Amino acid sequence: MQIFGYRVPNAMSLLLWASAWEIVGRAEITILLPPLSSALGRLLEIVPTETFLAALAITLQAYFLGVGISILIGVPLGIIMGRSAWVDKLILPWVSLFVSAPLTALVPVIMVLFGFGETTILLTVVLFAIWIIILDARAGSRGISQSLVEMSRSYGATRWQAFIKIYLWAALPEILAGIRLGFVRAVKGVIIGQLLVSVVGFGYLFEIYSSNFLMEHMWALLMVLFAFAYALDSGMGALERRVEYYSANRS
C-alpha cells in the first residue's frame, strides 16, 4: 500500500481502526462499545478462568467432533455421488437444498429431538458443515479424468483401491476447498447451536454477559471466536496451497 508516495505496511489499517475503536470507546458514546484496551484487558482476565476454559473445552469438542463426522461422511459420499449416476440422482436434490437453506431455522427442530445438550450442538455443527463438503468432494470426483478411471480399471484396481489410491487423491484439491468452507461454516454452527441452546459452552457465557450488560466480556469473547475462525481458515488455506501444484496439471 502506498500513501503520498510512502510505503505503508498493511498492518497500518488494522492499527488505524483499533485507534478509532479506542477513541470512540473512551468517548463513552455508547455502553455497547467499551474501549479496545479494556476489552483486551478483560480478555486476558477471563481466558484463564475455569468457566471460560470449560466452555472452550465443550465448544472445541463439539466443533472438532462435528467437523470430523462431516468429513468422514461427506467426503466419501461426495466422491461416490461424483462417480455413480444413480446415487447422485438420489442424494443431490437434498444436498443442493440444504447447502443454501437457512439452517438456523432447523436448530430448534434438532433441539426438540435431542434436547438442550451437547448432542444438539454436535448435530448443529454437522448440519452446517457437511453439505458444502459433500458438494465439493462431488465436484472433485466428477472432474477426475476419464483416462485415470480407465487406467485404474485396466490395471485391475478394485473399487476400494480405486477409491483410496486414485479418486480421493485426484479430487483432493476440491475436497480440501470444501473442508475449508466446512470449517468456517462449522464455526457458525457451533456458535449458533450454543446461542440457541444457551445453557452450555460459549452460548451460556454469551447469555450471562449480555443479560448483565458485560460488554467488555462480550467483546473479549467475540475476539476469541473471530481469531479462532480466522486461524482455522488460514491454516486450511496453507494446506490447500501445498496440493495446488498438481491441481493445475492433473491429466
C-beta of 246: minimal distance to another protein in Å? 4
Of 154 and 211, which CB lies nearer to another protein in the complex structure? 154
Q: Which residues bind another protein (CB under 8 A)?
A: 145, 147-148, 150-158, 161, 165-166, 169, 172, 243, 245-246, 249-251
Of 100 and 161, which CB lies nearer to another protein in the complex structure? 161
Cell of 203: 452460548
Cell of 73: 461422511
C-beta of 148: minimal distance to another protein in Å? 5
Of 2 and 249, which CB lies nearer to another protein in the complex structure? 249
Of 79 and 190, which CB lies nearer to another protein in the complex structure? 79
C-beta of 144: minimal distance to another protein in Å? 11
DSSP-assigned beta bridge partners for residue 6: 3
C-beta of 181: minimal distance to another protein in Å? 22
Exposure string over 112-133, b if 16+ CB within 10 A, otherwise e: eebeeebebbbbbbbbbbbbbb
CA-based diameter of the chain, in Å?
Answer: 74
For strand 6-7 and strand 2-3, is the pairing parallel, antiparallel, or unpaired? antiparallel
